[in-house]
Amino acid sequence: SARIAVLASGRGSNLQAVLDAIAAGRLDAQVVGVFSDKPDAAALQRVAAPLRWSARPRDFASRSDYEQALGDAIAATAPDWILCAGYMRILGAGIVQRFAGRMINIHPSLLPRHKGLHTHQQAIDAGDAEHGASVHLVTAELDAGAVIAQSRVPVLPGDDAAVLAERVLAIEHPLLVACLQLLCSGRLAEQDGKLQLDGHTLFSPLTL
Ligand code: GAR
């Protein structure tokens, strides 16, 4: 089964959705490590202690030293896929290149709209009628890699960022699992920066 390394900084509900899908037999994969920039991240507690790795970036001489150590720890688990699930640091070109075509991220907006942080407030401020989440390939440019799939939710009158975040999170979990099902079964893969589904180039994101 496919080996998945997960990078997470916080709560880890997306990681939990992946673990639950594996446990239920809905995803033929194993989580081989959880990697965090926050030693107290709740996400780490969702897997057995031997699978946890964390280090504070500020304990390294440079960002590239931190990312070298992170990359070495990830590589040691021989992952097929590297999943960023609420990993809240921008990854440098070095580590992105090292895992090129194998690293994906779940982002809480309908990319290319609302890159970066505070995406729910961004959607409200923009007056969007629709919002959602995207799973995309990680490239050196922030939140700009090819989008694999998206799911949509309405923005409702009176929504604040917290309410909207909760509505989006509920669709993130099945979206992420569905993408991993495609990736881990080998139906979906990257070739020369383009996504191929069943051997055909994917010209626009899947809607899930
Ligand atoms: C999720 O909403 C995820 O899309 C977002 O952080 C949350 C993590 O929740 N990621 C980003 O904003 C990445 N820039 P979780 O820790 O419960 O999975």
The DSSP secondary-structure symbol of 89 reads S
Q: Tell me: the pLDDT tens digits for 35-46?
A: 999 999 999 999
Reported ipTM: the value is: 0.99
**Which tens digits make up the pLDDT trace of 123-171?**
999 999 999 999 999 999 999 999 999 999 999 999 999 999 999 999 9
Verify whether residue 107 is a known catalytic residue: yes
User: What pTM, to 2 d.p., does this model score?
Assistant: 0.98
Round to the nearest angstrom and report the end-to-end CA distance of the chain. Answer: 23
The pLDDT, as a whole number, for residue 167 is: 98
Residue 193: what pLDDT? 80
pLDDT averaged over every residue in the chain: 97
**What pLDDT sits at residue 92?**
97
**Candidate from 105, 107, 167 with most ligand 1 atoms within 8 A of CB, to mutate:** 107
The average pLDDT across 49-73 equals: 98
Longest Cα–Cα distance of the chain, Å, equals 48
Hey, what amino acid is at 110? Answer: L
Between the CA of 44 and the centroid of ligand 1 the distance, in Å, is 14
pLDDT tens string 167-181? 999 999 999 999 999
Whether 9 is in the pocket of ligand 1, judged by its Cβ within 6 Å, is no
Do 157 and 147 contact (CB within 8 A), yes or no? no
Q: How far apart are CA 120 and CA 111, in angstroms?
A: 12
H or E stretch covering 121: helix 119-125
Q: At residue 113, does pLDDT exceed 90?
A: yes
CB of residue 85 inside a 6 A radius of ligand 1: yes
Helix (H, G, I), strand (E, B) or coil at 115: coil
Per the CB < 8 A criterion, the answer to whether 197 and 189 are in contact is no
Average pLDDT over residues 88-108: 97
